[in-house]
Amino acid sequence: MTFEIKTSNGLVLETRKYRIMQQESVNPELKAHLKATNCFEEGYIDLNLIGDLDYEGRETLAIGSFIVSRAASNENYVWNRIMSFSLQSQSPTRFLWRDYTIEQGV
């Protein structure tokens, strides 16, 4: 996931890219998605994990260890690990990380 920014003079910039992947798990399926909220005024991006709901409106519990990585244009889009977390039969919805490393033009 990325954010694209277009300035008033037509310059188009793209933020860092993020992904989540399974590191090791008993149950290899994580029913959730990443939500990135960009705060331009303060210069950060908040990453949250949002669990998918079942037909009864409840989150599916998750088990396993996961890593979050990102890639940026100034690093030739090489994926770098930024954090890891584990879930033990828990709801996956949670705040993951606040990224303060937003740079103009990256």
pLDDT at 26 over 50: no
Which pLDDT value is given to residue 2? 54
pLDDT digits (tens, 9 = 90+) for 53-97: 989 999 988 888 888 888 877 778 888 888 888 888 889 999 998
From the number of C-beta atoms within 10 Å of its C-beta (0-12, 13-18, 19+), residue 42 rates as: exposed
Which range, of 3-7, 18-22, 73-77, 98-102, averages the lowest pLDDT? 3-7
Question: Would the pTM of this model clear 0.95, i.e. be above it?
Answer: no
Please tell me the predicted confidence (pLDDT) of residue 82. Answer: 86
The number of angstroms, rounded, from the C-alpha of 58 to the middle of its chain's C-alpha atoms is 22
How far is Cα 31 from Cα 2, in angstroms, rounded to an integer?
Answer: 21
Report the pLDDT value the prediction gives residue 58, as an integer from 0 to 100: 92
Sorted by where each begins, the domain ranges of the chain are 4-99
